[in-house]
Every structure is written in structure tokens, then in C-alpha cells.
């Protein structure tokens, strides 16, 4: 079954009056998109707890709003739009917390040099700190392009902006990150 067919089936099942069908479809949608939506929320909010809050609100909106979904766009596009809206709102409400968190419980495993693992952790912190300084529009485009690997055309559809604007924002974001991280071409 293609992704388009899966999405159409999920939408149908989410709209179903049968509770079991709705719950099963929601579980499938969460399994398919939950990780990507969380990563996008994290890139927008720059805080794990805020990303979790935004994602939870996203799922609530999906459940409440599925009846109004017109399927003029892909289900994934609709989901990303909802997540961006909630993550932006949460970030604006909690502007005082702007640090991304790095999981310090990372286990490098046997045979890995602890100094190298520490260097990688520090590199990740620097990158996340630099991402947190980008304007929201650039973080969103960077998250969808670099984080999710979406093509410019799909990002343009999600954000409702021209494809050229996507390319411009992505270029500016990458240039800003290079400058902040001291990376020379």
C-alpha cells in the first residue's frame, strides 16, 4: 500500500465513529510521524520539555480537527503545520528557556574512546546552541530539510511559502551556522 493510500485510510479511520478504528489509526499515525514531529518541535522550541508539550497539543488538535481536514494537502503536511503552530506558540510563551538539551546519558559503548565521545557531546552542544540562535523561520526550514530530509517543494507546501523562499532561508540558516561555529568553506 502506498503512502497516499495509507494516509487516506488513516484519515477515514480517524473520522470513524468506531472507537477501536480511531484509536488504531491514531496509533499508526503516531508511529509513522511521531518521531519526525517531535524532532521538528524540538528544533522550533529548543527545549525538550517544550517540544513534548507542543507534540502533545499537536495530537490533541489532530484528534479534534480531523473532521475538518479537507485532504487538499497530504496528511503529513497538515500534521507538520499543526506541530509548527504549537511549537511556535509554546516557544513564544516560554521565551526565557532557550537552551537545547543534549542527552548526557549517551553510552558510547565498549571500545569507544571516552575523550572522543566527550568531544562529540561538546560538538553537539555547540551545534544545538547555534541552532537555537537562528530565527524561527530558519529553524523550521532547517528542521524540515536537514532533519526530515524533505524536498524544498514539500517544505514550501507545508509552510505555504514559495520554493525559492525555502532555498533562501535554508541557505541563510546554513551560512549563519557556519559563521557561529567558525567553519570556513
Same domain, 42 and 118: no
Domain that holds residue 158: 113-185
Q: Is the dihedral of CA 158, 40, 182, 109 positive or negative?
A: negative
Q: Give dist(CA 155, CA 138) in Å, integer.
A: 12
Question: pTM of the predicted model, to two decimals?
Answer: 0.75
**Does residue 75 belong to any structural domain of this protein?**
yes
Q: Give dist(CA 70, CA 53) in Å, integer.
A: 26
Q: Give dist(CA 54, CA 143) in Å, integer.
A: 15
Q: Give dist(CA 54, CA 34) in Å, integer.
A: 12
Do 54 and 90 form a contact (C-beta atoms < 8 A)? yes
CATH of the domain at 9: 1.10.1740.10
Angle between helices 152-159 and 163-181 (to 10 degrees): 100
- What is the mean predicted confidence (pLDDT) over 24-41? 92
Cell of 77: 503536511
Total number of domains constituting the chain: 2
Same domain, 47 and 90: yes
Higher pLDDT, residue 125 or 32: 32
Q: What is the pLDDT of residues 114-167, one digit of tens each?
A: 777 777 778 777 888 888 889 999 999 998 998 788 999 999 999 999 999 999
Cell of 91: 516557544
Amino acid at each position: 500500500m502506498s503512502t497516499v493510500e495509507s494516509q487516506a485510510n488513516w484519515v477515514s479511520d480517524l473520522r470513524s465513529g468506531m472507537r477501536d478504528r480511531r484509536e488504531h489509526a491514531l496509533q499508526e499515525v503516531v508511529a509513522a510521524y511521531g518521531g519526525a514531529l517531535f524532532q521538528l518541535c524540538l528544533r522550533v522550541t529548543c527545549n525538550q520539555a517544550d517540544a513534548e508539550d507542543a507534540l502533545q497539543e499537536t495530537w490533541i488538535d489532530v484528534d479534534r480537527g480531523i473532521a475538518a481536514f479537507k485532504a487538499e494537502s497530504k496528511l503529513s503536511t497538515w500534521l507538520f503545520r499543526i506541530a509548527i503552530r504549537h511549537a511556535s506558540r509554546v516557544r513564544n510563551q516560554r521565551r526565557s528557556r532557550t537552551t537545547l538539551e543534549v542527552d548526557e546519558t549517551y553510552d558510547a559503548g565498549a571500545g569507544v574512546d571516552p575523550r572522543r565521545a566527550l568531544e562529540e557531546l561538546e560538538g553537539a552542544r555547540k551545534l544545538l546552541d547555534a541552532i537555537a540562535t537562528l530565527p524561527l523561520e530558519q529553524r523550521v526550514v532547517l528542521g524540515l530539510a536537514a532533519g526530515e530530509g524533505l524536498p524544498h517543494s514539500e517544505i514550501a507546501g507545508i509552510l505555504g511559502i514559495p520554493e525559492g523562499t525555502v532555498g533562501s532561508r535554508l541557505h541563510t540558516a546554513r551560512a549563519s551556522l557556519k559563521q557561529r561555529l567558525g567553519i570556513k568553506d
